[in-house]
């Protein structure tokens, strides 16, 4: 943290100063800054916005009929590796589950039983996230992570029902690490999102060129989106923004301009692409990079909150054990968040083609994939082969995603083998004939059609039955949009 940031954030009153921590001067300075008391206002505002955005998302699931479409109607669900035991609630249970999530989001927003509400929301939302791999979205993963962090952040010590009913809980300050943990999480999302864009297809304007060609109906901007400069402007603009937004927000002199650039960037994404709550979640998060007291100064919270908060005692300085506990846990969490997006480098081939290491790595809007799949099921006893259309077993969303994800193709092959076993066919062999296109290339085989996938285990190791991408990038004037967020 820079000295400017420390001067901006540290509350200068005497009783709140942290004691020196034994060790080197650099170590003492680091720990003082990490646990220095800062204004709680921006963390409170983030809590309110986060709860409101989550409540809005739950309402969208009810109003759009997504609960039944994604979790009740499908007879088969693609589960994540190691989470095959997660299943939807029976009957109308998923409706009750989402209703509970809506109530919990409002409790987070209002600061009512805050820590319990945050913990239950994290568990409940993560459960929904794990139910269907075909519904993976980066912002769902981000909601899981942020709701987990919110359990431990004291965002309920002001402007909350908890603080209203428990005066001893009230505080105008929180330790600085509360803000920096959120900032680090959002900064990593932007940074790895930018790193992932440094690839040959993106630098040649794909798949942005195809997506923009499908947006010509938009007023004012639409007629210009098919021009060649537009594909490069949005591709390189997105790459540079993702890489530079966090340093720009950390530097005091550029912070306001970068924030307004972020507003324009996220609003443009909201207009051009159907990515749900993601732009609004990122806008609420990037506001956390301003000095912690900015909401209080902007809306003159001192006058409106002076009554209940003036009598609040400052938070007691943490013990050495508490300091080291926070440091170790926060450091371990951030190290995991740094290493997880890098794991795809340990897999061979183009990650946008093989999908190995693609999820949980902030690879956002990087590829457009279309394809078709059929499965050949062979009875080893009779050597008779049956052709299976997966659309007879899957929902529309599942069937669309299947030809793009080798791990889902393997999982569906295991499902077909199990179905045939229940019907009396022992040792059914399943081979997949999947033709897939990446970013406008001609279609090619994604999976080796000679491999019996029913005999291949689900594993995190590289899959040898995924065929390498051979087709060079070919431009198209228009392309079918793909939900890649």
Q: Tens digit of pLDDT for each residue in 366-424?
A: 999 999 999 999 999 999 999 999 999 999 999 999 999 999 999 999 999 999 999 99
pLDDT at 219: 83
Q: Is residue 372 part of a domain?
A: yes
* 20 pLDDT above the threshold of 60: no
Q: Is residue 445 part of a domain?
A: yes
What's the pLDDT at 314? 57
Instruction: Give pLDDT, residue 24.
Output: 56
Q: In this structure, is residue 398 part of a structural domain?
A: yes
Pair of tokens at residue 17: 């100063």
**Region 444-473 average pLDDT:** 93
pLDDT band at 22 (very low <50, low <70, confident <90, very high): very low
Buried residues in 305-314 as b, exposed as e (16+ CB within 10 A): beeebeebee
The mean pLDDT of 274-300, rounded to a whole number, is 89
Question: pLDDT at residue 157 above 50?
Answer: yes
**373 lies in some domain:** yes
pLDDT band at residue 438 under the 50/70/90 scheme: very high
- Enclosing domain of residue 410: 368-455
Mean pLDDT score, 96-125: 98
Is residue 412 assigned to a domain? yes
Query: Span 48-76, mean pLDDT?
Result: 96
The Cα–Cα gap between 122 and 148 comes to 6
pLDDT-above-70 percentage for the chain:
88
Structural domain contains residue 377: yes
Report residue 27's pLDDT band, with 50, 70 and 90 as the boundaries: low
Please tell me the pTM assigned to this model.
0.88
Q: What is the mean pLDDT of the chain?
A: 88
In a domain, 478, yes or no: no
Examine residue 192 and state whether it is found in any structural domain, yes or no.
no
pLDDT tops 70 at residue 309: no
Respond yes or no on whether the N-terminal peptide bond of residue 145 is cis (omega within 30° of 0). no
**pLDDT band at residue 4 under the 50/70/90 scheme:** very low
Number of domains in the chain: 1
- Per-residue model confidence (pLDDT) at position 31: 73
């Amino acid at each position: 943290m820079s000295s400017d940031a420390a001067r901006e954030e540290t509350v200068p009153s005497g009783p709140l100063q942290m004691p020196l921590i034994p060790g080197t001067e650099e170590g003492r300075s680091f720990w003082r800054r990490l646990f220095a008391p800062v204004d709680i206002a921006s963390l409170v505002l983030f809590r309110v916005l986060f709860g409101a955005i989550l409540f809005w998302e739950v309402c969208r699931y009810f109003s759009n009929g997504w609960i039944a479409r994604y979790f009740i109607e499908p007879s088969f669900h693609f589960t994540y590796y190691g989470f095959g035991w997660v299943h939807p609630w029976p009957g109308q249970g998923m409706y009750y589950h989402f209703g509970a999530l809506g109530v919990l989001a409002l409790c987070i927003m209002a600061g009512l039983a805050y820590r319990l509400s945050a913990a239950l929301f994290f568990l409940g939302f993560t459960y929904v996230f794990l139910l269907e791999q075909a519904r993976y979205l980066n912002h769902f993963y981000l909601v899981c992570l942020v709701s987990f962090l919110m359990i431990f952040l004291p965002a309920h010590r002001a402007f909350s029902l908890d603080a209203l009913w428990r005066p001893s809980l009230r505080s105008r300050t929180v330790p600085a690490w509360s803000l920096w943990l959120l900032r680090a999480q959002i900064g990593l999302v932007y940074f790895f999102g930018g790193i992932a864009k440094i690839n040959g297809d993106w630098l040649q304007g794909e798949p942005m060129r195809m997506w923009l060609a499908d947006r010509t109906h938009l007023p004012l901007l639409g007629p210009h989106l098919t021009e060649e400069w537009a594909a490069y402007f949005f591709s390189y603009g997105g790459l540079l923004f993702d890489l530079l937004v966090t340093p720009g927000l950390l530097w005091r002199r550029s912070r306001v301009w970068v924030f307004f650039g972020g507003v324009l960037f996220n609003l443009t994404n909201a207009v051009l692409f159907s990515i749900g709550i993601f732009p609004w979640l990122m806008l609420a998060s990037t506001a956390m990079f301003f000095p912690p007291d900015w909401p209080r100064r902007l809306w003159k919270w001192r006058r409106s909150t002076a009554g209940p908060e003036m009598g609040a005692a400052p938070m007691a300085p943490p013990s050495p054990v508490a300091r080291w506990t926070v440091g170790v846990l926060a450091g371990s969490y951030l190290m995991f968040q740094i290493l997880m997006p890098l794991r795809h480098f340990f897999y061979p081939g183009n990650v946008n083609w093989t999908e190995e290491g693609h999820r949980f790595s902030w690879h956002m809007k990087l590829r457009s994939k279309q394809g078709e799949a059929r499965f050949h099921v062979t009875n080893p006893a009779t050597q008779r082969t049956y052709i299976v259309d997966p659309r007879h077993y899957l929902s529309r969303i599942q069937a669309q995603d299947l030809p793009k994800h080798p791990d889902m193709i393997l999982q569906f092959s295991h499902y077909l083998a199990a179905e045939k076993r229940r019907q009396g066919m022992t040792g059914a062999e399943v081979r997949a004939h999947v033709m897939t296109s990446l970013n406008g290339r001609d279609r090619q085989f994604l999976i080796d059609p000679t491999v019996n996938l029913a005999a291949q285990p689900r594993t995190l190791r590289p899959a040898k039955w995924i065929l390498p991408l051979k087709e060079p990038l070919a431009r198209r004037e228009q392309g079918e949009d793909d939900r890649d967020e």
